[in-house]
Structure formats: structure tokens, C-alpha cells
Amino acid sequence: MTQTGGGCRATNYVGFIRRALEKAGMPQIPVISLNMAGIEKNPGFKLNLNLLTRAAYGAVFGDIFMRCVYRMRPYEKEPGSVNAVHQKWLKKCQDFVSARHLSFFTFRKMCRQIVADFDAVPITDTQKPRVGIVGEILVKFAPTANNHLVELLEAEGAEAVVPDLLDFMLYCFYNQIYKADHLGMSKKAALISKAGIDALEFLRGSAADALKKSKHFTPPVSIYHLVEYAKPIVSIGNQTGEGWFLTGEMVELIKSGVNNIVCTQPFGCLPNHVVGKGVIKALRSRYPLSNIVAIDYDPGASEVNQLNRIKLMLSTAQKNLKSAGQSAETRKP
């Protein structure tokens, strides 16, 4: 289980899982902490360069799938065609990251082929509101944590847009640079982090190039651009949890034409209340078309209340889309 080591509930997930296993009568099952902060020593398990490289390749593949599947599935002419392409490439990607030897040239070729296959899926020309999903990393990406939000949005006639997982890793690296520049922290750690950003950006470049040349997809934005997006609204010193990165992601979505956003957060997540829910008013002031709703996810939260608030946001999104379409019609000669 991943463990951040920061002032966030994600640091405590490992302890809670162990406690749950113990109460379930299975205390013998080990829970390994996947972290780079040296929080725990796990005998028999080490994060080496080989494992980290495979994880980075896997993250890039996963981000391509998110961009392609979520972009094409709401518009597919033949139901199930996008999922079929996904399943085809999922097996090939699993085989690649599990292979004894990793070939960067094979990886580049696979990135191009994956994007090309999704790009070729026949789709309709209907217009649907695009809805970005941001927030606390677990709730944002895990369907069981956000009550299958992507499927809900698609069922309600919208297209989900989920920013890359790799961006969170880049955010963690960038924070070390900021700490060295402004808080007197280790310069060596900052240099290592800069090298880490360069390495991940180089690796993701294969996917970015393929997405840029495609008909339907857009490439990811540099972490340095996200920093600049967030600066006018929050201090980059906000680094607990998703910190300034959450604000930067929302600005990125709005700048790319995704004005509708669901900000997901666990109940009582203090960082999210500051850099997520807390910046909505500022974002609406800067970007009047922004349509943002913050949703708390917790076992004790009302699913009906979540659904009603999302539907209200989608109702506004549909009105804005219809209004934009009518405005475009009146501008035609």
C-alpha cells in the first residue's frame, strides 16, 4: 500500500489496514508500505531502480488508457468497442512491464500504437459536457472510493476527464525543489528531484508525442506550467496532501475547456478544504464559466446527497453547453 509520509490520512492507511486485518482474524497477513520517505523498513521488499522503472512505465500506460478510454467511450458508435481496445492493450502492457528486459524503443512504439487504435474507434458527432475529476489521490482514482464516479458521469450523459497519475509524482518531486529554494532544505534532494522530473517527463514524452499527433486527444501539461497556474491563487508552500497541485489541476482543466469539475475528497480532509473547496470562489471570480462542486466521500456520507449535487452540477453544465451551441449558431454567416 502506498504511503505518503506527509500530514495526510494517506500516511495512516497502512496502519488502518493492519488493524482491520487483525479485527477480521487475519493478523498474519503482512501489509507492505510502498513509500520513498523511509517510514517503514520492509524485510524482503526493496524499492530499486528496476522496480521504479517498471512502475513508471506502468503509470504512463495507465495515464494513456485514462485519457483515451474516457475520451472515446461516451461517444462510441458500437457499445463496448472502446473497452475491447482497452482489454486488448491492457494484456500487452502487463506483459511488457513484467518482461525480463525492458526496451524503451518497444515502449515508444506501443504508446503510438495504443493511441492510434483508440483514435480509430468510430464515434458519433454528439456533444456532451466534459467533467473533470480532481481531489484526494485515492478518492480521485479508485472507483470504489468515489462510488464509481466516472461510470456515473457517463450514465448521466457526460464525458469524464481525469488528469494523469504521473502528475502527482512530478508534484512530489517539485515540492523538494521549492523547499530547497525557499525553506532552506537539502539542495542535494532538489537536484535529485529535478533529475527525477526530467526522467519522468522524458519517459512520458513518448505518450505526449503520440497524443499530440492524434485526432481526438490532448497531451499532458508540464508540471512547471501547473505551478504557474496555481501561483496566483494559492502559495506553492501548500504541500500537505495534494496541496497547490489540486488548484493547478483545476486551472489546467478550465484552460483546456473543461469548465465543469467534481472535486472529490474524504470527509473532513483538511488539505482539500483549503486548496480544493477553499479556492472555488477565487476560481469562479477568475473564470466565470467554471462550474465546480466539492463532494465528500465517506462510508457514512449519504450517496443520495452526493448524486443530487452531481446532478445539479450536470444540469448547469448541460445548460452552458446548450447556450454555447446556440451562440455558435448565431455567429454563423
Residue 66 lies in a domain: no
Average of pLDDT values for 251-269?
A: 92
The pLDDT of residue 115 is above 70: yes
Residues 151 and 249 in one domain: yes
Residue 174 lies in a domain: no
Residue 125 lies in a domain: no
Residue-range definition of the domain harbouring residue 231: 130-164+220-331
| pLDDT digit string, tens, across residues 43-84 | 888 888 898 899 999 999 999 999 999 999 999 999 999 999
pLDDT for 5 equals: 74
Residue 275 lies in a domain: yes
| pLDDT digit string, tens, across residues 152-171 | 999 999 999 999 999 999 99
Buried b (16+ CB within 10 A) or exposed e, 39-54: eeeeeeeeeeeeeeee
Residues 321 and 224 in one domain: yes
pLDDT for 294 equals: 93
Q: Tell me the percentage of the chain whose pLDDT exceeds 70.
A: 97
Helix residue ranges, H only, the chain: 13-23, 49-72, 81-98, 104-119, 137-141, 149-155, 166-182, 187-212, 223-230, 243-255, 270-275, 280-286, 303-331
Average of pLDDT values for 266-283?
A: 88
Mean pLDDT of the chain: 91
Contacts of 251 (CB under 8 A, 6+ apart): 226, 229, 230, 233, 283, 287
pLDDT for 126 equals: 92
pLDDT tier for residue 325 given thresholds of 50, 70 and 90: low
The grid cell for 245 is: 497541485
The grid cell for 315 is: 444540469
| pLDDT digit string, tens, across residues 4-55 | 777 777 788 889 999 999 999 999 999 998 877 778 877 888 888 898 899 9
Higher pLDDT, 183 or 326: 183
The pLDDT of residue 329 is above 70: no
Average of pLDDT values for 122-126?
A: 94
Residue 204 lies in a domain: no
Residue 5 lies in a domain: yes
Does residue 126 contact residue 75 with C-beta atoms inside 8 Å? yes
Gyration radius (Cα) of the chain, Å: 21
Structural domain ending residue among the three candidates 10, 26, 47:
47
Q: How far is CA 316 from the centre of its chain?
A: 24
**Residue whose C-alpha cell is 517539485:** 174
Domain count, the chain: 2
Handedness of CA 224, 194, 217, 90 (dihedral sign): negative
pLDDT tier for residue 1 given thresholds of 50, 70 and 90: confident
Among 271, 236, 231, 5, CA closest to 134: 271
For the entire predicted model, the pTM comes to 0.90
Phi-psi map region of 171: left, alpha, beta (phi>0 left; psi -120 to 50 alpha): alpha
User: Distance (Å, rounded) from C-alpha 86 to C-alpha 114?
Assistant: 9
Handedness of CA 269, 272, 273, 277 (dihedral sign): negative
Among 290, 281, 277, CA closest to 251: 290
Half-sphere exposure of 122 (CA within 13 A, CB side): 3
pLDDT for 2 equals: 82
- Please report, for the domain that includes residue 225, its CATH number: 3.40.50
Higher pLDDT, 326 or 324: 324
pLDDT for 298 equals: 81
Residue 267 lies in a domain: yes
User: Distance (Å, rounded) from C-alpha 135 to C-alpha 147?
Assistant: 14
Residue 68 lies in a domain: no
Average of pLDDT values for 184-201?
A: 93
Does residue 130 contact residue 158 with C-beta atoms inside 8 Å? yes
Cα distance between the two ends of the chain: 58
The pLDDT of residue 111 is above 90: yes
pLDDT for 4 equals: 74
pLDDT for 122 equals: 96
Average of pLDDT values for 78-94?
A: 97
Q: Most distant CA pair in the chain: distance in Å?
A: 73
| pLDDT digit string, tens, across residues 299-319 | 777 888 899 999 999 999 999
